[in-house]
Amino acid sequence: MSTAAIVGLILLSILVGALIPVLYQAWLTLKSARRQIDALGPRVDQALKEITETTGRVNRIASIVEEHGERLGPVVDSAVEIGHTLGQVKNTIRKFSSLVGAFGPAVVAGLGAFLAHRRARSATATTTEEETEDERQRIIINDRQPGVAPPKPRSAAPEDHYDH
């Protein structure tokens, strides 16, 4: 035997020795995959049956919707119109709220000033009536005490007039 043949035989034996564990592991992997496929087969069949039933239901619903589609058209159009109307109402409310936000504080301040003026006028009128009563009492007392001059009468506060 020649040296080349011996070297070739050694290389072939090394190659076969390295391939045997790889081939054994591949065989075990294929065996495990076969078991998994066999176990999943009935489950896949059940899932396919359920998908087929669901597809049939969806097809029946689609045919019903197609049959009644003409009746649903006006309903959908009405819903779209209601949506547009609600959008317009929303825009109107937004504009109104911005106006209220702009003029509201001024209106409240004016109303507050008006009410404060009314309270001040009624307080002045009440005070004037009380002062008139006090002056009467002083005059009576002063009449009893000779030599004491009566107090000077106060003039009433002029009323403010507003053009409304």
User: Residue 16's pLDDT is what?
Assistant: 87
Tokens of 117: 């003026």
Give me 88's structure tokens. 């317009």
pLDDT score, position 82: 92
pLDDT band, residue 151 (cuts 50/70/90): low
> Using CA atoms, how far apart are residues 140 and 123, in angstroms rounded to an integer?
26
Which is nearest to 150 in space by CA: 162, 134, 164, 161? 134
Q: Of 55 and 162, which is predicted with more confidence?
A: 55
Segment 98-149, tens digit of pLDDT: 888 888 888 888 888 888 888 888 777 665 555 566 666 665 555 555 555 5
Cα separation, 41 vs 35, whole angstroms: 10
Kindly state the tokens that stand for 18.
């390295």
Instruction: Read off the pLDDT of residues 18-68 as tens digits, 9 standing for 90 and up.
Output: 889 999 999 999 999 999 999 999 999 999 999 999 999 999 998 888 887
What is the pLDDT, as a whole number, of residue 59?
A: 94
Rounded-to-integer distance, Cα 22 and Cα 26, Å: 6
Q: For residue 137, how many C-alpha atoms fall within 13 Å in the half-sphere facing its CB?
A: 6
pTM recorded for the entire structure: 0.31
Q: What pLDDT is attached to residue 106?
A: 85
